[in-house]
Structure formats: C-alpha cells, structure tokens
Amino acid sequence: DADVTQTPRNRITKTGKRIMLECSQTKGHDRMYWYRQDPGLGLQLIYYSFDVKDINKGEISDGYSVSRQAQAKFSLSLESAIPNQTALYFCATSDSGVTDTQYFGPGTRLTVL
Amino acid sequence: GQQLNQSPQSMFIQEGEDVSMNCTSSSIFNTWLWYKQDPGEGPVLLIALYKAGELTSNGRLTAQFGITRKDSFLNISASIPSDVGIYFCAGRSNTNAGKSTFGDGTTLTVKP
C-alpha cells in the first residue's frame, strides 16, 4: 500500500463550488504539506503543518484553507473554486529531522470549469 | 522569499548521452535535494546532499553540493528512456522554518 494517498485522483467541478481534497499518510510523520503544480512553474507551497496543532500559510494560500484532522490526515479545501485553480495538487509528508526528505502522494488533478 | 533558478527548463537528448542540470540561489542552503517526477506520479527523492562540497552518486546519477552552498548540480550518465520525467532541485535552510524551496523543474525527454 502507498505511504501517502490522495483522494480523489481526478475531479472536475464548476466555478463557485466548494471542493475538498484529502490526504492520508501511514509514515508516522509529523509534517504535512500541500503543493500546487502548474506546467513550467514547479511546485508551489499552499499550506503546511508541522504537527496537529500547527497550520501555516505557504506562498499561495489565498483561496485555499486546510484542516489537520489527525497526525495522519491533512485536507485542502477550495471554498469557492475558480478556473485558475485548475492544476495538479500534491500532498507530501516529511519527518522533523535534519533531512526534510519529502514523500509525495500521487496527486489530484483538479479542473474547474 | 527564497528562490531557486533551475536550468535548463527542458532537454531533448538521444539515448546514451550524458545529462547535466543545475540549480542556483542567492541564498545559502544547508541541504540540497534532487527529486524526479515520472509522468502521472508525485516526485520521488533521488539524492540528498548535506555538506558543502559533497559529491554523491546513486547509480548513474551524481549530484554535488556547491562549495558556496548556493548551488547544486545533477548529472545523469548514459541516459536511458526511463530517465524521462521532470527533475526538481530543492534547497532547505534553517532560516526558512526548515521548509524546502523547489526549483521550477527540468523536463527531460530521451529519444531511443
């Protein structure tokens, strides 16, 4: 089984709809992240959480919110989706050690019409 | 915020050729990481570098942590079709709350 899972894997929605993307991990890591990937723009950090009670904004948090329901679960919400939020979204985890090696989920492809 | 300049943006090479890509930054990093993203999947760590000047290999891949701590390069020798994908560098510094900053990626295409 995958260490980091994301649901759904693909989603098509309409402008103005509320969307939630979910992430679960079995690695026992404290740190979790949500990234957005657009072609040619690499990975942009949306939000990150270093433990269950810690939530921090990343580079592009406007229009997004998150919830850390448990150590293993970190969800990303788009309160009112807009077309320029069409992108590939990745969840990742890392331990709190020196390396900060990040383990990524398989991604969720979101299309907002 | 911290930014990484990764180059080249894309490469089209023949199978068997060597590949070189690099990342530079105006900021100092304590750790450099190189990831590969296969089509339709999330990035996976290839090599991690923790010390200035460090040269580390992983099979046909070799990466170096620049002496100035502001750059890193990744070389792939004797490329094969399965090397196709997007390669990302990432730098981590203690002054950025321990978060990694990612480059924009190098898209590699290998022609058989």
pLDDT tens across B36-78, in order? 999 889 999 999 999 999 999 999 999 999 999 999 999 999 9
Task: Tell the residue number behind the tokens 């320029």, with chain if given.
Answer: A84
What are the backbone angles phi and psi of residue B36, rounded to the nearest 5°? -125, 135
Q: Provide the pLDDT for residue A35.
A: 96
> Is B93 an interface residue toward A (CB < 8 Å)?
no
Interface test with A, best of B30, B34, B96, B104 (most A CBs within 10 A): B104
Q: Provide the pLDDT for residue A101.
A: 85
Q: Provide the pLDDT for residue A96.
A: 73
Chain B contacts in chain A segment 11-70 (CB below 8 A): 35, 40-43, 45, 48, 56, 59
Q: Provide the pLDDT for residue A15.
A: 97
- Between B44 and B2, residue with greater pLDDT: B44
Total CB pairs under 8 A between chain A and B: 53
Buried b (16+ CB within 10 A) or exposed e, B73-83: bbebeebeeeb
pLDDT category at A98 given cuts 50, 70, 90 is low
Chain A contacts in chain B segment 10-29 (CB below 8 A): none
**CA–CA separation, A11 and A39 (whole Å):** 18
Q: Is the pLDDT confidence value at B109 over 60?
A: yes
Number of other CB atoms surrounding residue A59 within 10 Å: 13
- Per-residue model confidence as pLDDT tens digits over A30-89: 999 999 999 777 899 999 999 999 999 998 999 999 999 999 999 999 999 999 999 999
B42 vs A contacts (CB less than 8 Å) = 4, 90, 92, 104-107
- Per-residue model confidence as pLDDT tens digits over B80-104: 999 999 999 999 887 776 678 899 9
> Is B102 an interface residue toward A (CB < 8 Å)?
yes
Q: Is the pLDDT confidence value at B1 over 60?
A: no
* Nearest residue of A to residue B7, measured between CA atoms: A40
Q: Provide the pLDDT for residue A29.
A: 92
**Dihedral angle, C-alpha A63, A69, A70, A71, nearest 10 °:** 0
Q: What is the mean pLDDT of residues A93-107?
A: 84
> Is A89 an interface residue toward B (CB < 8 Å)?
no
